[in-house]
Structure 1
Amino acid sequence: MSMLRFAAALLPLLAAPALAEPDHPAAHAAAGAPGQASPAPPNAHLYFIAPANGARLRGPVLVQFGLRGMGVTQAGSTAAQAGHHHLLVDSREPVAPGEPIPADKQHLHFGAGQTETNLDLPPGRHRLQLVLGDARHKPFAPLVASRVIEVTVLPPARHRRVRRG
């Protein structure tokens, strides 16, 4: 193989890692310009597979995420029309358009592309909402979010002692 053909074949392989970096200009083009939300298709739909709205259950709570019209990927990935999940727990504040979704006990990030989790929630009523984030943890435009659901976590079951006699 000639040196010219070898260099031509090698060049795309050397450039690929740079294009995959979230701070590379090509990554910003795929994920929306800095300060702007990444575009989402109008038919994207984010929803809870489980639990159902109004569910009364004991912990840990299995939460399964559903998504149609877009794909799920890892945080930092600039794949077109794909993002990663964020689960809002007992948050009353809407996510800010164009701003990264906070990372705290009320805003759980699933940056490895997870589509379910087990939550250890204390007994009581809880509000849950899913929001899809782009490569930079920013919500898409239009917003890709589930409706808010409420679940009630019951106290642990009491075990009756059986007397043997």
Structure 2
Amino acid sequence: MKKSFFLITCALLVATSCGRSRNENVQGAEYTAAPALASSEEQSGVFFVNLKDGDKVKSPVIIQMGVRGMSVEPAGKVSVGKGHHHIIIDGAFINNGQTVPMDKTHLHFGKGQTTDTLKLAPGHHSLTLQFANGVHDSYGKDWSKTITITVLNN
């Protein structure tokens, strides 16, 4: 009897451990949770590679975009742990699950680009880098970074 109970318990443990993982991409499933990095030294999220908050720059401004904890992939399909960049000029992050608008202040980099050049008028500007999935649904505040820059007169 003890041997049967032990074998049944082992079989149940094996069966439950072979199920679908939480992060597996399932056709038609929504993906809103973002994976965490294993390293505690690096925070997952997006960042400006070549700019920091408070920088003074001249237009056109070269923008280099980075991401930790996910991979860059062109728009078109939704894949777990993947997405592409957006820059929001003089605006805030987009809430998790909301679609990033497509207009002159919400720039989409759906080909997977990580570098661009922006022509900005002189003055103070906020730039928000926003990561979103393959159909432009935002990964939210945790996957955004806002900085303020000053564009100088040429």
Q: Normalising by the residue count of structure 2, what TM-score does the alignment of the two structures yield? A: 0.73
Q: Which residue of 2 aligns with 1:132?
A: 131
Q: In 2 relative to 1, CA 141–97 (structure 1 residues): closer, same or farther, beyond 3 Å?
A: closer
Residue pair 1:75, 1:83 contacting (<8 A) in 2 also: yes
Q: Which residue of 2 aligns with 1:71?
A: 71
Q: Of the candidates 134, 137, 154, which is equivalent to residue 152 of structure 2?
A: 154
Q: Check if 1:144 corresponds to 2:138.
A: no
* Cα distance in 2, alignment partners of residues 112 and 63 from structure 1: 16
* Cα distance in 1, alignment partners of residues 75 and 55 from structure 2: 30
String of CA shifts for 1:51-92, please: whole Å, max 9, x gaps: 221111111101111111110001113332000101011014
Q: Which residue of 1 aligns with 2:85?
A: 85
Q: Normalising by the residue count of structure 1, what TM-score does the alignment of the two structures yield? A: 0.68
Equivalent residue pairs, number: 123
Cα RMSD after superposing both structures: 1.8
1:46 alignment partner AA: V
2:32 alignment partner AA: S
Residue pairs, 1:12-161, within 5 angstroms: 26=27, 28-29=28-29, 32=30, 38-43=32-37, 44-92=44-92, 94-140=93-139, 143-146=142-145, 148-156=146-154
String of CA shifts for 1:117-164, please: whole Å, max 9, x gaps: 100001111001111011211112674112x111111111xxxxxxxx
* Cα distance in 2, alignment partners of residues 106 and 123 from structure 1: 16
* Cα distance in 2, alignment partners of residues 98 and 52 from structure 1: 27
* Cα distance in 2, alignment partners of residues 125 and 142 from structure 1: 22
* Cα distance in 2, alignment partners of residues 81 and 62 from structure 1: 27
SS at match of 1:50: coil
Unpaired runs of 5+ in structure 1? 1-24, 157-165
* Cα distance in 2, alignment partners of residues 46 and 91 from structure 1: 16
Unpaired runs of 5+ in structure 2? 1-25, 38-43
SS at match of 2:94: coil
